[in-house]
Amino acid sequence: MKNRRLFWRIVQGIETSIKSGEYTVGSRLPAERELAEKFNVSRPTIREAIIALEVRGQVEVKTGSGVYVIESASLESNVVNAFELTQARALIEGEVAALAALSINDDELEALSETLDMMEKNQDSDSIEEADKLFHKIISTATRNEAMILSVKNLWSLRASTREIIEDYKNVCSSDNKLTLKEHTAIYLALKEKDAAKARLAMHQHFNRLINTLFDAIESKALAEVQRKNNEKRDLYSLESLVKSK
């Protein structure tokens, strides 16, 4: 998260204001100068943030009139995104790991070890996701708590709930398979030691890395789209294009 560009902080701030109702659908955002003063950034940074918000379907830019919040922004406010899902998984599965450390048996530890072998042997295969899912399922089962088991199952179902989450997780989970294996191994060792605090911490560290990787991947995608839109506008308003059209 510390690597996020400055404009991304502005995007998140304005999106939060939209979701909270500070900026309602149909309302006009404050002027560029006001936003620059509010966030203590330059006006070009605000322009980049507005373009990103437009790309994300949050606002509409009306030339000569201003920037307006559009309907799709309110419709998306109740949809779980990849960040919310990952944060929820970190909190819930951290406690799942802590509880499992107190009751996991040898057979379950052996099954976890087998998923690690599966991940190591299939670093460039889709089956690594199957091993990942099985790993977390075994840990939830080891809690002996049906509510915990159901919670983890539902969180995995949410991974396939929207096209955006599927794509975001695919980009993240396929990029650092070796790190995933290393983190899973740390969780496994903590469970083997029956150390609840260590298991919780290892699980939190695993998801913290996922959240940061998620930010990097989505930021890169947003920046590429912002650059594309900027280039379109540059071509539209450049004197060279006007001269060529004559």
Q: Are residues 146 and 238 in the same domain?
A: yes
Q: What pLDDT score does 231 carry?
A: 75
Tell me, yes or no, whether 64 lies in a domain: yes
Q: Are residues 86 and 204 in the same domain?
A: yes
Q: For residue 30, what is the domain's CATH number?
A: 1.10.10.10
Report CA torsion sign: 71, 66, 229, 49. negative
- What domain range is 140 assigned to? 80-244
For the chain, the domain total comes to 2
pLDDT at position 200 is 98
- The pLDDT assigned to 76 comes to 47
Q: Hey, is 83 helix, strand or coil?
A: helix
Q: Which two tokens stand for residue 163?
A: 């096209």
Tell me how many helices (H) and strands (E) the chain has: 12, 2
Same domain, 110 and 27: no
> 């496994």: which residue's tokens?
188
Closest CA to 12 of 44, 56, 65: 56
Phi-psi region of 17 (alpha: psi -120 to 50; beta: other; left: phi over 0): alpha
Burial class (CB in 10 A: 0-12, 13-18, 19+), 19: middle
Residue 69 main-chain phi, psi, to 5 deg: -75, 135
CA separation for the pair 61, 186 (Å, rounded): 48
Give the span between the Cα atoms of 213 and 175, in whole angstroms.
9
Cα–Cα distance, 66 to 28 (Å, whole number)? 7
Q: How far from 138 is each of 25, 91, 102, 186, 200, CA to CA, in Å? A: 45, 18, 14, 15, 15
Shared-domain flag, residues 54 and 125 = no
Whether 132 is in a domain gets the answer yes
**Dihedral sign, CA of 132, 135, 137, 139?**
negative
Q: Is residue 1 part of a domain?
A: no
Q: What are the per-10-residue average pLDDT scores of the chain (246 residues)?
A: 62 88 92 92 86 83 88 57 90 97 98 94 77 95 97 89 78 77 97 98 94 78 71 68 56
pLDDT score at 236: 66
